[in-house]
Structure 1
Amino acid sequence: MKQTGGIRIKRSRGTVIFDVCNTLLMIIICFLCIYPIWYVLVNSLNDAKDAMMGGIYWWPRQFSMKNYQTVFENSSVLQAFKITIGKTLLGTTVNVLFTALVAYPLSKNHLIGRKYYMAIGTVTMFFAGGIIPTFLLFKHMYLLNNFLVYIIPAAFNFFNLLIFINFFREIPVSLEESAKIDGADDFKIFYKIIIPLSKPVLATIALFAGVGQWNDYFGGLMYMTARPDLEPIQTYLYRMVAQVQSSQAANSISASNITAADTTSTSIKLAAMIITTVPICCVYPFLQKYFVKGMMVGAVKE
């Protein structure tokens, strides 16, 4: 029986079976998504040498914060975190503002050449220049071993532009017309009216761009060959994992001068993985309400 507004509605056996199966399926999916993170967290909070014996699945057997202490004491790790935080904040800001600035005029049907610009942008969603041409282009632009290689290439994304365009079209044209009557130009309308009304889509694109910047390891791997001090934490972790696998030494520490008697390369790796995951997990709940609304608007085909 299901009670709705004081009226008891009898549910059919098929509906009950479906609800039970659906609930069990969702529980299984949630478990499969959450448990790997929980496993990494538990092992990172366990004593490194004890964890090497295995058998730790649900709770730490010998609780220890030595792994995290070692990570934060290492200058290379801290430098990698600084680069990651810097490129995430700056790259996200540039991407959101620049993409919005391009999307606003393209949301107007009277823009000269609009269809031509949209056609060119659509092609870039399905075809890319390739790794070697991109590398040569960045070389001629003097972006190799330069912090700006994280910012300039990621300043624009056509998929994000489509979401912006669909959102801007939902804003009443009367607002812009009234502002123009009061003497406001296009730039003033954009910054004073359009941007303040676009919090949902701004938060959505910021989340997309921020997660992409935070998780990116390929840029540091390909374009920072001579500047390891400019590598982000994800590239740092990639090199750590690659070295551990190639050395095949269970207790060897990565070549980044991480040395501690009570830690291993695996324990350091697990602790660093948790540290890199926590910031995104903390940011997402605050952006979720804007994210859902922004995606609903962006779901309409342009």
Structure 2
Amino acid sequence: MVVSIYVFLILLSFSALYPFWNTLVVSLNEGLDTSKGGVTFWPREFTWSNYEIVFNNERLLQAFGISILRTVIGTIAAIFMTSLLAYGMSKSHLIGRKFFTVFFIFTLYFGGGLIPTFLLIKSLGLMNNFLVFIIPGLISVWNMIVFRTFFKSLPNGLEESAQIDGCSNWGVFFKIVLPLSGPVIATLGLFTAISHWNDWFVPTIYITNHDLMPIQTILRRILNANLLNEAIGADSLAQERLDKRNITSKSLISATIMVVSLPIIAVYPFVQKYFVNGVMVGSLKE
């Protein structure tokens, strides 16, 4: 029985990891050689050419920088604003607390729809504006509920002691509450960062300026449209140069996917230890 469980878990892990590994292998293999088939676990003709094309392209590098900037600023701003709202909502003496609770939860079940949202974003002047990546995602009701549950679990004596020593509400929030919220901040911060990093839909709807396009939107265009002409801007002469370097669409796509995926994957080890405590917060009843 134990052996069968381990075998099942190994096969399950393999099925989850192999697509990522194969993409890495293809990205490190010559494109024309990959097109012959048989490249599965190891590169047959090792090369860095695919990554050279990606990193030497200014448009992709600019898009990569937009994605990094959006993820960092958006995550920090969203975690701060959501935690600040949750701190206020965690106070039982807050006037209108029940009304605001129902008001926020209502938005979890009902939304305005794409067209009203588009008209709202346009009326706010956020079209082709970097702030369209930040402002609409400042508040997450689900994250607010998790933060509120965590704040309500903190001993009341901590805040009362700080207030007796003359600490204001802002001081309690920044000096007492936030320092104790490391696990939940790390967990929700990672989920928020992944959401920002993987988002391609918002730029597709609200951004037409290529200088503000994040790497995910360009990657989707690579996958769904004319790879070299639209995503990299290659002309016929550039295409001939790529052919001479044994580069194909599949190998270039694989390299771009790896460049997009590795930064967010690299963050996991640094916040993994907070996952158990952070995720468990949302499972506790008030």
**Does residue 147 in structure 1 map to residue 130 in structure 2?**
yes
In the other structure, the counterpart of 2:224 is 242
Q: Percent same amino acid at aligned positions?
A: 45
User: What amino acid sits opposite 2:165 in the alignment?
Assistant: D
In the other structure, the counterpart of 2:233 is 257
Deviation at 1:32, TM superposition (A): 0.9
**Separation in 2, partners of 1:21, 1:300:** 34
**Does residue 68 in structure 1 map to residue 51 in structure 2?**
yes
Which stretch shows the higher mean deviation, 72-81 or 283-292?
A: 283-292
Q: What is the number of equivalent residue pairs in this alignment? A: 277
**Separation in 2, partners of 1:221, 1:196:** 37
In the other structure, the counterpart of 2:101 is 118
User: What amino acid sits opposite 2:65 in the alignment?
Assistant: K
Deviation at 1:265, TM superposition (A): 2.2
**Separation in 1, partners of 2:108, 2:11:** 34
Deviation at 1:87, TM superposition (A): 0.1
**Separation in 2, partners of 1:166, 1:253:** 49
Question: Unpaired segments of 5 or more residues in structure 2?
Answer: none
What RMSD over aligned residues (CA atoms) do the two structures have, in Å? Answer: 1.2
Shift >6 Å, 4+ stretches: none
Indicate the structure whose relative CO is greater, using CA pairs within 8 Å and at least 6 residues apart.
Answer: 2
**Separation in 2, partners of 1:205, 1:108:** 21
The structure 2 residue matched to 1:232, chosen from 202, 208, 214, is: 214
In the other structure, the counterpart of 2:284 is 300
- Map residues 135-174 of structure 1 onto 2, 5 A cutoff: 135-174=118-157
**Separation in 1, partners of 2:110, 2:12:** 34
Kept after mapping to 2: 8 A contact 1:253/1:264: no
**Separation in 1, partners of 2:33, 2:7:** 35
User: What amino acid sits opposite 2:160 in the alignment?
Assistant: E
Deviation at 1:134, TM superposition (A): 0.8
User: Which of the pair has more CA radius of gyration?
Assistant: 1
**Does residue 52 in structure 1 map to residue 32 in structure 2?**
no
In the other structure, the counterpart of 2:185 is 202
**Separation in 1, partners of 2:77, 2:285:** 25
User: What amino acid sits opposite 2:33 in the alignment?
Assistant: D
Structure-2-length-normalised TM-score: 0.94
Find the residue that maps to 1:193 and give its secondary structure.
helix
The structure 2 residue matched to 1:289, chosen from 257, 273, 279, is: 273
**Separation in 2, partners of 1:296, 1:168:** 13
In the other structure, the counterpart of 2:63 is 80
**Does residue 175 in structure 1 map to residue 158 in structure 2?**
yes
The structure 2 residue matched to 1:42, chosen from 25, 41, 56, is: 25
More helix by share: 2
Question: Unpaired segments of 5 or more residues in structure 1?
Answer: 1-16, 245-251
Deviation at 1:25, TM superposition (A): 1.4
